[in-house]
């Protein structure tokens, strides 16, 4: 056993030496193959890095327990393609779902944009724009939102319409210069809110609980839904209204009474039974609305968990998919190219192989030697590909919008898969040429010499 | 030249020849679609907007929220602030003129509606984007007025949520589609059901919508200063003074009233050059990316052809010598390899055309993509044929220089 191992190690060393010698004999061809593999691997790994960033689960430990209910509020004739109901809810139905409280945790959500005044010490007299969401207190534990100081406001504060706020640490630094400012007052849109909590950095991509957008900047502020809506503190900018219906535009009062959809809704359901029960509840709700004459059609509801929702809504931009596919196509062409060139390279040495075969080298030995040569080229291509992938990921911002480019990241996993991809792909590309080389008959070639 | 011997020889190198065919086919499939994406992006980016873009500056800003923004008093307050801003803008040394204007081409935020010949939208109607603004908007934009007149100052209404202006200026495509006989001026049309008289026609004005549409140049100018939390202005800088004007605008507006918001990237003070660059950034990026991939792809394929043809030349070294000894001229040898290359690449092009159409079908399902025009496949095929011939030339020339005397040697 020991001797055999030693022998095979020696053979490996010998093959390696043969491979190096062969590569040196045709440096142009070798360089060409390394370049092709390097470029092909780098292009596909760079695009994969973007795609991986965009398709990553924004809340992997919990996404299958978070659901978005959809109710067919508008009915036939106004449905999305495939008979799908609207993705958002109107105020009336969102409030009905909140009131009945059928999930462990739930929150109606809508996007806010407003402004606040900076720290007096900065000397600026101009307001700062802030962006955020109106939510219920259940939102924070439901989405495991991380707090730096303080915490969520309470359900009781929701119910009593208390003016409280949760802000980002970024806004905390802008307005107060940082530190634990829980209990202090912050003015948003001309109204004062008591700070209940300050978040650690939290910017899931996309914002799966609301608009399904990729955003560079994290949200600044979270305010109580009921307070904001019922005191008409901050309106909503973008509602979806039925075709031909009057769009309330900036008239918040009219929006609240309309069937325009503008509210996102999320519920936490901890097992399949709970999800089934909630689905039944949604249907029962629709039937009830049918009875009172609001809906004139059979229930057509949906309850998707976060991964299913992101998939259904096609959040990953088409450009990212197309770029990935085209880059993979490039890699495929590079591999086909490598198969051809390796074939040429190995068969060019038919004479030498025939001599080695005649002197007793087995087919397996010839095959192994060829594969080692392919592996070395793969290694070279892999190292080049790895370096080019690093450069590529840094350069993604030149060709893709910042909010998408920001999600492309380099990590050891990506780099080792670039190397592995190059090695495996080149070995696969080398398999057929190596097989062909091992078929070179010894006797015939000796005759020719 | 008879191609039979070439085909017979190729049969001996079946796998290598098939590999090149496959490589050419895949390359064509990708290159044709990539060319199409590039062509589409460049086409979108190079459309003239109809504006005189050089020296045009857009200001988009928001007044901090105040409760009860929809009542009459608030509207008058917003209007007073807007008029004060406009007066300030017009007084700046590097500013030629300024106008109230809610949007402009490529900015993406817009309102749109239907313009029809009857109030019930039963007959002919066209989709169009609405540009709200005052009587200076048309000249500040630098739009070419081909018929009629500008709005009178007295025609400018102000307020909020006031659909249906009594008078409008339309872009030529709107006029032409509603009145093919060319008598649009002075006619009454219906704007979402409300009557409006066409008092002017501008030659060209792109809509703010960025995505492709079949109404990209259907625009209507509306004499309305919109008074709500958002206020937008267009400013024409003095020639060559755009950067200075932008600085002056920023300082003057914040000095006049610091209580204003300009949340980037949508709002703020931007030259039209910046708006164009950021609006078309994704198109430009996609074109660059596809261009880079095409260059690598064509380079790899050309190199592959050089490599394999060189190998074949080397393998047939002796046969070439024999042919030369039997009377073949250098040019015959050269032509042999060129024709062989042509046959292989042509095979790849045929398979590749099918692959290109298949890939296009997939892209149409995944991505905003239209059917691939034949011209892109044809130009890709031509590029590959030329590339193949060029790549085969070096090894083929080497083959043609094989001296007849090698026939007498044993390798």
DSSP state of A246: P
**CB within 8 Å: B307 and A40:** no
**CB within 8 Å: A340 and B67:** no
- Report the residue of B17, B32, B44, B65 to disrupt the A interface, i.e. the one with the largest count of A CBs within 10 Å: B65
Whole-number average pLDDT of chain B: 90
* Cα–Cα distance, B407 to B324 (Å, whole number): 8
* Cα–Cα distance, A42 to B372 (Å, whole number): 28
* Structure confidence at residue B310 (pLDDT): 86
* Crossing angle for the helix pair A363-399 and A27-55, to the nearest 10 degrees: 50
* Cα–Cα distance, A207 to A216 (Å, whole number): 11
Rounded to the nearest angstrom, the gap between the alpha carbon of residue B50 and the centroid of all alpha carbons in its chain is: 15
DSSP state of A261: B
For residues B388 and B342, the answer to whether their CB atoms sit within 8 Å is yes
Picking from B135, B74, B21, the residue whose alpha carbon sits closest to that of residue A190 is: B74
DSSP state of A245: S
**CB within 8 Å: B20 and A189:** no
Closest partner CB to B307 (pick from A323, A341, A432): A341
**CB within 8 Å: B23 and A129:** no
- Using the Cβ of A322 and the Cβ atoms of chain B, whether some distance falls under 8 Å is answered with yes
* Structure confidence at residue A2 (pLDDT): 46
* Cα–Cα distance, A154 to A135 (Å, whole number): 12
The first and second tokens of residue A201, run together, are: 């950095």
Closest partner CB to B304 (pick from A340, A348, A400): A340
Helix (H), strand (E), coil (C) string for chain B: CCCHHHHHHHHHCHHHHHHHHHHHHHHHHHHHHHHHHHHHHHHHHCCCCCCCCCCEEEEEEECCCCCCCCCHHHHHHHHHHHHHHHHHHHHCCCEEEEEEECCCCCCCCCEEEEEECCCCCCCCEEEEEEEEECCCHHHHHCCCEEEECCCCHHHCEEECCCCCCCEEEEEHHHHHHHCCCCCCCCCEEEECCEEEEEEEEECCCCCCCCCCCCCCCCEEEEEEEECCCEEEEEEEECCCCHHHHHHHHHHHHHHHCCCCECCCCCCEEEEHHHHHHHHCHHHHHHHHHHHHHHHHHHHHHHHHHHHHHHHHHHHCHHHHHHHHHCCCCHHHHHHHHHHHHHHHHHHHHHHHHHHHHHHHHHHHHHCCCCCCCHHHHHHHHHHHHHHHHHHHHHHHHHHHCCCHHHHHCCC
- Using the Cβ of A333 and the Cβ atoms of chain B, whether some distance falls under 8 Å is answered with yes
Q: Is ipTM > 0.85 here?
A: yes
**CB within 8 Å: A318 and B20:** no
Closest partner CB to A340 (pick from B16, B26, B66): B16
* Cα–Cα distance, A324 to A49 (Å, whole number): 9
pLDDT in tens, A81-126: 888 998 899 999 999 999 988 899 999 999 998 889 887 666 677 8
**CB within 8 Å: B311 and A344:** yes
pLDDT in tens, B32-44: 999 999 999 999 9
* Cα–Cα distance, A72 to B139 (Å, whole number): 48
Q: Which residues of B307-329 are buried (b: 16+ CB within 10 A; e: fewer)?
A: bbbbbbbebbbeebbbbbeeebe
pLDDT at residue B9 is higher than 90: no
* Cα–Cα distance, B44 to B285 (Å, whole number): 13
* Cα–Cα distance, A167 to A186 (Å, whole number): 9
* Cα–Cα distance, A249 to A241 (Å, whole number): 10
- Over residues B211-224, the mean pLDDT reads 91
pLDDT in tens, B132-171: 999 999 999 999 999 999 999 999 999 887 777 899 999 9
The first and second tokens of residue A215, run together, are: 């955003």
Closest partner CB to A126 (pick from B67, B254, B363): B254
- Using the Cβ of A340 and the Cβ atoms of chain B, whether some distance falls under 8 Å is answered with yes
Bridge partner residues of A191 (DSSP):
A188
* Cα–Cα distance, B79 to B87 (Å, whole number): 12
* Cα–Cα distance, B282 to A334 (Å, whole number): 27
Q: Measure in Å the smallest separation between the Cα of A404 and chain B Cα atoms.
A: 11
**CB within 8 Å: B16 and A249:** no
Neighbours of A211 (CB within 10 A): 17
The reported pTM is 0.88
* Structure confidence at residue A449 (pLDDT): 42
For residues A105 and A279, the answer to whether their CB atoms sit within 8 Å is no
Q: Which residues of A touch B229 (CB under 8 A)?
A: 250
**CB within 8 Å: B366 and A29:** no
* Cα–Cα distance, A397 to A50 (Å, whole number): 10
The first and second tokens of residue A178, run together, are: 């940082």
Q: Given phi > 0 = left and psi -120 to 50 = alpha, else beta, which region is B317? A: alpha
The owner of tokens 């005189």 is B52
For residues B394 and B313, the answer to whether their CB atoms sit within 8 Å is no
Picking from B343, B302, B333, the residue whose alpha carbon sits closest to that of residue B398 is: B333
pLDDT in tens, B347-370: 999 999 999 999 999 888 877 778
Distances B281 to A10, A400, A405, B169 between C-alpha atoms, Å: 57, 8, 13, 31
| List of chain A residues with pLDDT < 50 | 1-2, 445, 448-449
* Structure confidence at residue B283 (pLDDT): 92
DSSP A379-402: HHHHHHHHHHHHHHHHHHHHHS-H
Give the pLDDT band (50/70/90) at residue B111: confident
For residues A177 and A121, the answer to whether their CB atoms sit within 8 Å is yes
Distances B64 to A163, B70, B231 between C-alpha atoms, Å: 19, 14, 11
The SS3 assignment for A227 reads: helix
Q: What angle do CA A398, A402, A408 make, to 5 degrees?
A: 85
DSSP A60-123: TTTGGGEEEEE---S-TTSPBGGGBPPSSB-HHHHHHHHHH--SSEEEEEEEEEEEEPPPGGG-
Give the pLDDT band (50/70/90) at residue B294: very high
* Structure confidence at residue A445 (pLDDT): 46
**CB within 8 Å: A348 and B311:** yes
* Structure confidence at residue A448 (pLDDT): 47
Put simply, the chain A residues between 385 and 404 with a CB less than 8 A from any chain B CB are 398-401
* Cα–Cα distance, A297 to B272 (Å, whole number): 50
């Amino acid at each position: 056993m020991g001797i055999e191992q030693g022998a095979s190690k020696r053979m490996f060393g010998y093959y390696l030496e043969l491979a190096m010698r062969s590569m040196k004999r045709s440096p142009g061809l070798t360089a060409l193959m390394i370049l092709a593999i390097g470029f092909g691997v780098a292009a596909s790994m760079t695009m994969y890095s973007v795609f991986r960033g965009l398709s990553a689960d924004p809340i992997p430990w919990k996404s299958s327990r978070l659901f978005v209910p959809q109710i067919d509020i508008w009915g036939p004739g106004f449905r999305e393609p495939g008979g799908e109901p609207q993705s958002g809810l109107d105020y009336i139905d969102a409030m009905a779902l909140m009131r009945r409280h059928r999930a462990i945790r739930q929150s109606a959500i809508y996007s806010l944009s407003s402004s606040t005044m900076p720290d007096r010490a900065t000397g600026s007299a101009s307001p700062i724009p802030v962006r955020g969401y109106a939510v219920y207190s259940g939102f924070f534990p439901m989405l495991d939102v991380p707090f730096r100081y303080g915490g969520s406001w309470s359900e009781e504060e929701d119910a009593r319409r208390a003016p409280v706020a949760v802000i980002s640490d970024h806004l905390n630094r802008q307005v107060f210069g940082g530190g634990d400012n829980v209990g202090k007052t912050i003015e948003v849109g001309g109204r004062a809110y008591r700070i209940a909590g300050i978040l650690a950095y939290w910017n899931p991509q996309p914002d799966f609980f609301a608009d399904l957008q990729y955003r560079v900047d994290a949200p600044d502020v979270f305010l109580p839904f009921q307070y904001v809506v019922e005191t008409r503190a901050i309106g909503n900018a973008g509602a979806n209204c039925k075709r031909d219906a009057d769009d309330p535009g900036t008239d918040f009062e009219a929006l609240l009474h309309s069937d325009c959809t503008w509210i996102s809704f999320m519920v936490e359901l901890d097992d399949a039974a709970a999800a089934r029960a909630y689905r039944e509840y949604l249907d029962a709700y629709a039937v009830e609305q049918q009875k009172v004459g609001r809906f004139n059609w059979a229930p057509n509801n949906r309850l998707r968990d976060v991964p299913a929702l992101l998939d259904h809504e096609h959040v990953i931009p088409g450009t990212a998919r197309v770029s990935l596919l085209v880059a993979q196509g490039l890699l495929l062409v590079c591999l086909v190219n490598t198969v051809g060139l390796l074939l040429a390279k190995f068969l060019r040495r038919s004479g030498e192989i025939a001599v080695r075969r005649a002197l007793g080298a087995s087919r397996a030995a010839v095959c192994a030697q060829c594969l080692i040569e392919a592996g070395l080229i793969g290694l070279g291509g892999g190292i080049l590909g790895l370096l080019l992938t690093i450069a590529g990921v840094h350069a993604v911002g030149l060709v893709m919008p910042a909010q998408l480019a920001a999600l492309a990241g380099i990590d050891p996993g990506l780099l080792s898969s670039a190397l592995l991809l190059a090695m495996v792909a080149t070995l696969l590309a080398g398999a057929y040429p190596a097989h062909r080389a091992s078929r070179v008959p010894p006797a015939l070639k000796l005759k020719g010499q | 030249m008879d191609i039979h011997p070439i085909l017979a020889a190729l049969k001996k190198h079946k796998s290598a020849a098939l590999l090149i065919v496959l490589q050419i086919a895949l390359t064509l499939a990708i290159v044709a679609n990539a060319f199409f994406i590039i062509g589409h992006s460049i086409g979108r980016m190079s459309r003239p907007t109809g504006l005189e873009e050089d020296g045009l500056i857009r200001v988009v800003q928001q007044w901090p929220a105040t409760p009860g923004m929809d009542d009459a008093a608030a509207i008058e307050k917003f209007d007073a602030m807007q008029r004060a801003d406009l007066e300030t803008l017009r007084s700046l040394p590097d500013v030629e003129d300024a106008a109230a204007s809610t949007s402009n081409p490529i900015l993406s935020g817009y309102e749109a509606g239907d313009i029809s010949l009857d109030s019930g939208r039963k007959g002919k109607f066209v989709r169009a984007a609405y540009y709200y603004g005052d009587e200076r908007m048309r000249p500040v934009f630098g739009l070419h007025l081909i018929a009629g007149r500008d709005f009178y100052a007295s025609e400018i209404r102000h307020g909020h949520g006031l659909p249906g202006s009594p008078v409008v200026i339309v872009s030529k495509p709107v006029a032409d589609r509603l009145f093919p006989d060319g008598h649009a001026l002075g006619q009454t049309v219906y704007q979402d059901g409300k009557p409006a008289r066409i008092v002017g026609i501008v030659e060209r004005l792109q809509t703010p919508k960025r995505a492709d549409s079949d109404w990209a140049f259907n625009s209507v100018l509306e004499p309305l200063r919109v008074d709500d939390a958002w206020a937008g202005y267009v400013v024409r800088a003095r020639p060559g003074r755009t950067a200075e004007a932008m600085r002056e605008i920023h300082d003057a507006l914040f000095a006049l009233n610091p209580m204003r918001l300009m949340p980037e990237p949508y709002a703020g003070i931007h030259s039209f050059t910046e708006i164009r660059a950021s609006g078309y950034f994704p198109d430009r990026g996609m074109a660059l990316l596809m261009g880079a991939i095409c260059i690598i792809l064509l380079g790899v394929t050309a190199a592959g052809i050089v490599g394999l043809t060189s190998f074949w030349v080397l393998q047939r070294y002796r046969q070439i010598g024999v042919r030369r000894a039997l009377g073949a001229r250098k040019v015959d040898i050269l032509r042999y390899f060129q024709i062989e290359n042509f046959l292989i690449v042509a095979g790849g092009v045929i398979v590749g055309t099918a692959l290109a159409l298949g890939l296009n079908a997939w892209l149409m399902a995944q991505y905003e993509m239209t059917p691939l025009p034949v011209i892109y496949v044809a130009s890709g095929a031509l590029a590959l044929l030329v590339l193949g011939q060029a790549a085969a030339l070096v090894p083929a020339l080497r083959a043609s220089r094989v001296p007849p005397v090698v026939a007498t040697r044993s390798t």
